[in-house]
Amino acid sequence: MNILVTGGAGFIGRHLVSRLVSKGHSVTVYDNFSTSKKDPIDSVKIIEGDVRDVDDVQRAMKGVEAVFHLAAITEARSSDDDLVYSTNFIGSKTIFEAAKANGAKAIFTSSAAVYGESKITKESDECHPLSQYGKSKLRAEKICPEGSFIARLFNAYGPGGHSVINKFCKLIPKYEDVTIFGHGNQTRDFIYIDDVVNALLLGLETSGTYNIGTGKETTVMEIIDIIHQMTKSKPNIKFAPAVSGEIMRSKADITNIQKTAWFPKTELPDGIMLVLKSQGFDFSVIEHLK
């Protein structure tokens, strides 16, 4: 299958592209490389372009049978509301219109940020996003072509990622300062990258809106404790004021996607260990201390 991946040079994109190539698909990456490295990706055509550029998008979409639309401003704390809106909504509109014109299936990575403050979120829940990021994702969902697959991703992490888990795995073993915004008891539903990719691949055959998470919530302080126990490195924690508008709890109801036979396979401690290994942590040192 001929597949286009917007934002394919990013964290999730690279993992997705690698899997698509391994399955024998012909893949093209479309990225502006504003937040990712312009490194070659084996067996993949790369087009440098902006998702808001109608002409470039139309050219990239020619002959494409499916498009994974990942390109976005992903920082929920971004202060540039105009950039977030133009990229995440106007850019998505451009992609979706080109997909529809070329008869391509659209798989869209939305976000749990569309829900706003909520204890446990179901796809049928009313959405009240707090950030411009969440608002832009929700608006983009509403203009997805008929038959699209919409993945509301919770907190993805893994090798090469930029999540709080990745940051803590880098800082704690080096005894560098770890900054906690607020009290550290805010929770997130952390989902490992391989499980995210497995869910996105369902989009080639499935339609609908799905939460992509584990159905479990973990506090920031619990993440620090897991890394501490694994590395035996005492974290140097610095507390900072809570970020205005940031949600306190996040947990996915994954009943809907589990009906497709998908389920998260990677437990949080196992995923954290894989991140630590990818960042060069030597567990043999810990074995020697026992």
Q: Would you tell me the crossing angle of helices 11-22 and 193-201 to the nearest 10 degrees?
A: 60
Structure tokens at 47: 């087009």
The Cα 266–Cα 194 span in angstroms is 8
The Cα 55–Cα 72 span in angstroms is 19
What number of residues does the chain have? 290
Q: Would you tell me the crossing angle of helices 91-101 and 54-61 to the nearest 10 degrees?
A: 40
The Cα 242–Cα 59 span in angstroms is 44
One-letter amino acid identity for 229? Q
Q: Which of 62, 59, 51, 55 has the alpha carbon at shortest distance from 26? A: 62
- The sign of the dihedral angle between the CA atoms of 269, 274, 278, 283 is positive
Structure tokens at 263: 């389920």
Burial 246-260 (b: 16+ CB within 10 A, else e): ebebbbbbbeebeee
Structure tokens at 18: 């690698």
Catalytic member of 30, 115, 133, 192: 133
The Cα 237–Cα 172 span in angstroms is 9
- Say whether 175 is catalytic: no
User: Which residues have a catalytic role annotated?
Assistant: 133
